[in-house]
Amino acid sequence: GYIEGNPLTDYNFDASVVPFARGMSLISEKLYQACIVNHLGPQGRVARPAG
């Protein structure tokens, strides 16, 4: 199996979780597209929380 996660990640590394899950067929194409549209900012980077 695959375990994702690392306590030493940052915004640049966290952006690779969704593409990795898609590439390993852990999530569907439909879910991948929803993540891209709703949760990732410009250039596919994880959107930083406001504040």
Over residues 9-39, the pLDDT tens digits come to 666 666 677 888 888 899 999 988 887 776 6
pLDDT at 28: 93
Pure H helices in the chain: 11-14, 17-23, 29-39
Question: Domain residues of the chain, as ranges?
Answer: 1-51
pLDDT at 36: 77
The Cα diameter of the chain in Å comes to: 37
Count of beta carbons in the 10 Å neighbourhood of residue 18: 20
Determine the distance from the C-alpha atom of residue 45 to the mean position of all C-alpha atoms in its chain, rounded to a whole number: 8
The first and second tokens of residue 32, run together, are 């991948």
